[in-house]
Amino acid sequence: PVNPQAVHGQVEGAVVMGTGETIMEEVMYDGKGNILNPNLHDYLLMTAKDAPEIFSGIVESYEPEGPYGAKEIGEGATLPVLAAVAHAIANATGVWIKELPITPEKILKALKKKNKS
């Protein structure tokens, strides 16, 4: 059997990863293609302090193709986070940001552009 705590951990980790990718993680390059933030000091990752409160639930099912009837949980849980966060930001601000990460600077720029039109 699959450990339920491991499932919750995978889902919660995926939510943190997806949120971080959506609002803060960005590889930056200079004009020559060199990475400007090649380490964990300069490349921002979401930490436990930054993460939202997460409530995860489990819907048990059997997957005949998976090992012992199991299926993946971590990777698939990352994907809907981007859409959820992007929609929440758009609903709150009235502007769509179409480039990740969705930073405060990009939101402010989009709001200024919207107000000019």
Q: What is the pLDDT of residues 38-90, one digit of tens each?
A: 999 999 999 989 999 999 988 888 888 888 877 888 788 888 999 999 999 99
The whole-number pLDDT of residue 58 equals 87
- 8 Å CB contact between 79 and 63: no
pTM of the prediction? 0.83
The angle formed by the CA atoms of residues 47, 52 and 53, to the nearest 5 degrees, is: 120
Half-sphere exposure of 69 (CA within 13 A, CB side): 5
Domains in the chain (CATH in brackets) are 4-86 (3.30.365.10)
Nearest residue to 78 (alpha-carbon basis) of 13, 11, 12, 14: 14
Would residue 75 show up in a list of annotated catalytic residues for this protein?
Answer: yes
Residue 1 pLDDT > 70, yes or no?
Answer: no
Given the residues 60, 63, 75, 99, the one annotated as active site:
75
Q: Which residue has the higher pLDDT, 63 or 29?
A: 29
Whole-number average pLDDT of the chain: 92
